Structures are given as structure tokens and as C-alpha cells.
Amino acid sequence: MIRSVRANKKGFHAANFEPGVNLVLADRSKTAGDKDTTNALGKSTLIEIIDFCLASNTSPGKGLRIEALQGWAFTLELTVGGNDVAVTRSPDAPGFFAIEGPTAGWPVRPTPNKEGLPGLDTKKWRAVLAWALFGISELASESGYRPSARSLLSYFVRNQAAAYITPFKHFDNQKVWDVQVHNAFLLGLNWEKAATWQQLKDQKNALDALKQAIKTGAVDGELASLGELEAERLRLTTQLEREREALSNFRVLPQYSEIEEQANILTSEIHGLVNANIVDKRRLERYRESLVNEDAPTADRLEALYNEAGIALPGAVRKTLADARAFNEQIIVNRRGFIAGEIAAIDAAVTDREAQLVTLTDRRAGYLSALAGQGALEELTQLQELHAATRLKVDGLTNRITQLRQMTTKADTIKVETVELKRATTLDYEERRALWSQALNLFSEFSENLYKAAGRLVIDIDDTGYKFDVEIAGSPSEGISKMKIFCYDLMLVSFARQRGLGIDFLIHDSTVFDGVDPRQRAHALELAAAMAAKYGFQYICTLNTDMVPVNDFSQGFDFDSLVRLRLTDTDPSGSLLGFRY
């Protein structure tokens, strides 16, 4: 139960609260102009201060942690675990909560800070709240999908506009698991089932992310089928075996490079001798043809030509022709002797080369025989490198195949576990019917109290876990949408009290009544008063005075007695903090 809210500055308007309904009103003064407003008097700030002292998350430069509030400290007086204490938190040192009052029985006891003030850090204070308000331990909940005091409290202290959009969320980007786990806890369902559902989702998301990473190239490999990978591994395994066999039969010849060089030299020499023989043999053919075709002219050839022409040759000419004929015959004899000598020389050279070719070929054959079946160390190293590369490919494929099989098996396992989880959750749901049906009945009762037809709180179980919804006739209207949240929250605190939980307050901003018909506002406040008295909790609500449905309350409902604080727009001192910023 919250008793009061105060601050260390004189201008602050302290608020004292009692069991039941507690209203904080923002009055419009008679002298206020048409440009004055009651929307900046501190109604939402008061709720923010309460939430701040209940260990809400804070960011520098936002909320209460602004320059205008440097030096301020806010104190919340409330009952925690049967002890009346005062909790003080400063925007200048948000990580420390000064604790005044007895703390007997608390799971964590305050310890002095550097200034000697007894208190707790954020984590320990949240652990106390979790224990005292919801009966859970946060000391060992460093991680995991489990209820936390802060998320649970946010359904009882709706501290931002986004908290008034849907009953099951208290901020815009609230994760699905957070919604499922905390609403399951508050409705008496098995929240651990919701946690397990999220763990399965995480595993599936991890598999999907891995597949996507492989597909986009962020991870080496290609997204091939298991059959394709097996075929490629078989091919590489066969290649690996051939390489292994080649390596096992490989013999290293120490003089391999030297012998290989000598064999190359002999090959070059052999090619030179063969080419020289080819040239000489062509010369021999030409020389031999010359010996056959080159003869001296006959003795009477010239005289025959003259006779045919009818010309007689003189005697002197005949003598000259005889001399020339003799000279020509001598030349032919000399040429024949020369050609015969050349032929003999070329024949000898060719024969000598052929003998050399036999010798060189035999020598080269010896070298090649020495190299056959053996190799150089460089070749062995190259073979080993190729073998190692192939083995790496085979190992990589084997890992890929194992990974793909594991992924496929894991995906199948997740599907099976999801089906089994759904079945187990459905069975657990039925076993808990007596408990959660109380929550559904309360919601129907409260909604029927506000409207002619009873609304419905719906709990479903599908392949993704718990699904929650609320239905009230005419719900598309803004006012009825807000009343869904009011009925749901009022049900939560009433149900929590029925279950014996320590949470005994519910706090709403005036936003919860935006667009709501005045008659339903009146019924809602009267209903809150009746349920607070019945179940032993307090309802704190901030309102602008012009939103109070004074003409629609039931006879005998003393509205004025519920007002704990009035703020006014007469001047800045009338606001909660005593000034405006």
C-alpha cells in the first residue's frame, strides 16, 4: 500500500494516499484564460515519480533525469513485505535507493553507502519488490525468460501513453515472449510453458539465421541439398584415395634434377644430330642426281649444227673446237671427282652421326630409366600439397554434411517439441481451469458493470504459444478500448489479491478515461471503489476536474472524499513541483 509521495524541495505538493480510491485532480481556475492548460500540472509526473521510486528504468536527459531536477530527491512511503518504509531516489544518483524503516524478513537487507545512508542498489531493490509483491525471486534471474518485478509492475503502474493502447502490453516494442510470460503469470497460467516456447523460437530463429548467412555468403559454403553434398564428397574421396596411392608409391631420387638436366642436354644433342643428318642426306641426293645427269656433249654435235645450216666450218675453227671439247671433258672429269669426294665425306659424316645417335640415345634411355617411377623432392612436396588441399575439401564437406544433418534433425526436433509443448500446455491449461477461470469471470463481471453486455477475456493456445484478447461490444470506439484496459487492470489487481500476492495498488493516468462516456467513467470509479474495498487494494487515478462525471455518480457515492490532491493552473506554484519546466 502506498502512503505518500514527497520530495526534498519546498515547492513540491506532497500527496497522501489511503486504502481504496485516491484521486489527484487538476483544477482549472476561474481566472484561467483560453490558452491556459491543466495538462502540464504534474498529474503524469506524480505517477512517474511513484514508478521512479519503484525502480523503473531511467535514461539521462529523459523523464525525471533532467537538468531542471538536479538536486531533487523523491520519497515514496509504502508497505513492503509487512514493513512500512520510505524509499528515496534521486535523479542525480538513480542507482541507489535509500531505505528508512524496518526491513525484517527481507531477502536482501539495506547496507550503508559512501554517505552512510542505508539502502539498496537497483538490482537488490527490484529483488525485494519481486519477493514482496509477486512472490518470486530475482536474485538468480540474471537471464532467461522469466517474470521480472519491473515488467509485472508496469501492468499496475501504467506510466506512458503507449501503455494505454492494449491491455496486454505496457510499451510499443514489447517482445512477444515478454507479453506471454508476464500475462501468463498474472492470469494464473504456466508461464514456464511460455518461456519454453520462446526458447524453441530462439532455436528456430538461430537455424534460420544460419541458413540465411550461408545463403548470402556471410558464412562459407553454399546451401546445397544433402544428396548434392554427399555426391561431391564421394567424388573428392575417390580423388583423395588416388592421390594417397600416388604418394605411397612415390620414390624420391636425390640426383633427380641433375639427371633430368643431363637427359635434357642429350635430347637436345640428339635433335641436333638428327637435323644435321636430314640436311646432309638431302645434299647426297642432289649430288647423286648430278652424277647421273651431267655428261659431256658429243664430238660431232657442233659440226652437225653447222651442216644442217648449210655452212662449212673452216679448218682453224675445227681445231679450236677440238681444244674446247677437250677442256670441257676435263672439267666434267674434275667435277665428278669433286662430287664423289663430297658424297664420300657426307656419307662418312652421316654414318658417324648415326653412331653418335645410338650412343646418345642409349645414354638418355639410361637416364630416363633412372627417372622412371621416381621423382624430385619438389614433385613430392607438390603432390603432398594437393593431397592436403583435397583432404581439407573432404573434411569441409563432411562438416557441412554433419551440420546440415544436425540442422535438419534439429528443425524436426523443434517441430516435434513444439507439438508436444502445445499438447502439454493445453493439458496444463485444463488442470489450471479453476484458477484462470476466476480471472475470466472477474473481467466479465467488471465489463458487464460498465456496459449492458458482459465482455470476454479470451485465452487461446496456438503453435506460437499463448494468445490473449479482450472483447467488449462496440470495442472499435476509443472509449470502449480504454475501458478494456481499465477492466483488465482492475481484474489483475483483484485476482492478485485473491491469489494472496502482495501487490495491492493500481495506478492510472487520466489517459485511461480519454473518450469514455461520462456514465462509464462514473461506473468505473464506483466499481474501483467497491473492488478495492472487497479485495483490499488502493486505486490511484489522476484526472482533470472537467473529466469528473459529477452528475453521473450513484446517489450516496462521496466523490469529494476520494480527492487526495488538487493541482491548479492559477500560477506555476499550483503545479506538482511548484514550478513548470
Give the least confident one: 28-37, 40-49, 251-260, 354-363. 28-37
Q: Which of 56-65, 99-108, 275-284, 523-532 is the least confident region?
A: 275-284
Which range among 93-102, 148-157, 209-218 shows the weakest confidence by mean pLDDT? 209-218
Q: Please tell me the distance from the alpha carbon of residue 110 to that of residue 112, in angstroms, as a whole number.
A: 7
Strands (E), 81-139: 83-90, 93-100, 111-112, 118-121
Q: Is residue 32's pLDDT more than 80?
A: no
What are the b/e assignments for 216-252, b being 16+ CB within 10 Å? Answer: eeeeebeebeeeebeebbeebeeebeebeeeeeeeee
Per-residue pLDDT band for 222 (boundaries 50, 70, 90) equals low
pLDDT value at residue 303: 62
Closest CA to 182 of 228, 139, 150, 137: 150
Helices marked H in 294-314? 301-309
- Lowest-confidence segment of 126-135, 173-182, 283-292, 446-455 by average pLDDT: 283-292
Q: How many Å apart are CA 457 and CA 485, to the nearest integer?
A: 11
Neighbour-count burial of 163, counting CB atoms closer than 10 A to its CB (0-12 exposed, 13-18 middle, 19+ buried):
buried
Residue 226 has pLDDT above 90, yes or no: no
Fold topology of 2-189+432-574? Rossmann fold (3.40.50)
Closest CA to 260 of 141, 356, 371: 371
Cell of 342: 663430297
Beta strands in 444-524 (DSSP E): 456-462, 465-471, 505-508
How is the beta sheet containing 111-112 ordered, strand by strand?
15-16, 2-7, 74-80, 83-90, 93-100, 118-121, 111-112
Confidence at residue 297, expressed as pLDDT on a 0 to 100 scale? 56
pLDDT(141) > 90: no
Say yes or no to pLDDT of 219 above 60. no
pLDDT digits (tens, 9 = 90+) for 230-239: 888 888 888 8
How many C-beta atoms surround the C-beta of residue 540 within 10 A? 23
pLDDT, mean of residues 313-318: 59
Q: Please tell me the predicted confidence (pLDDT) of residue 33.
A: 47
Q: pLDDT grade, residue 319 (50/70/90)?
A: low
Residue 120 has pLDDT above 90, yes or no: yes
Q: Express each pLDDT in 5-24 by its tens digit.
A: 999 999 999 999 999 999 99
pLDDT at 212: 72
For the cut 70, the answer to whether the pLDDT of residue 369 exceeds it is no
8 A C-beta contact, residue 507 and residue 170: no
Q: Quick one: how many helices (H) and strands (E) in the chain?
A: 13, 15
How far the first Cα of the chain sits from its last, in Å, is: 30
- Specify the higher pLDDT residue, 484 or 361: 484
pLDDT at 207 over 60: yes
CB atoms within 10 A of CB 43: 24
Q: What integer is the mean pLDDT of 217-243?
A: 71
Contacts with 164 (C-beta within 8 Å, 6 or more apart), sequence order: 158, 482, 485, 509, 511, 512, 514
Give which of 210, 230, 228 is closest to 219, Cα–Cα.
210
Q: Pick the residue with more confidence: 33 or 129?
A: 129
89: β partners? 74
pLDDT given for residue 493 in this prediction: 98
Task: Fill in the amino acid letter for 556.
Answer: G
What mean pLDDT do residues 92-97 have?
96
Q: Interior CA angle at 572 toward 568 and 574, to 5°?
A: 30
Question: What is the average pLDDT score of the chain?
Answer: 84
Asked if 494 and 533 count as a contact pair (C-beta separation under 8 A), the reply is: no
pLDDT digits (tens, 9 = 90+) for 463-494: 899 999 999 876 567 889 999 999 999 999 99
Predicted confidence at residue 217, as pLDDT, reads: 47
Q: What does the pLDDT read at residue 35? A: 38
- Other C-beta atoms within 10 Å of 445: how many? 17
Instruction: Give the CA distances from residue 265 to residues 94, 226, 268, 363, 474, in Å, rounded to whole numbers and listed in that order.
Output: 90, 54, 5, 11, 104
Q: What is the pLDDT of residues 323-356, one digit of tens each?
A: 766 777 777 777 777 788 888 888 888 888 888 8
Domain boundaries, the chain: 2-189+432-574, 254-375
Largest CA distance in the chain: 183
pLDDT for res 317: 59
Tell me what pLDDT residue 495 has.
98
Residue 37 clears pLDDT 70, i.e. is over it:
no
- In percent, how much of the chain has pLDDT > 70? 82
Share of the chain above pLDDT 90, in %: 53
Nine-digit cell at 11? 515547492
For 78-92, 284-298, 406-420, 567-581, which range has the lowest pLDDT when averaged over its residues? 284-298
d(CA 323, CA 325): 5
Q: Span 498-518, mean pLDDT?
A: 95
Query: What length is written for the chain?
Result: 581
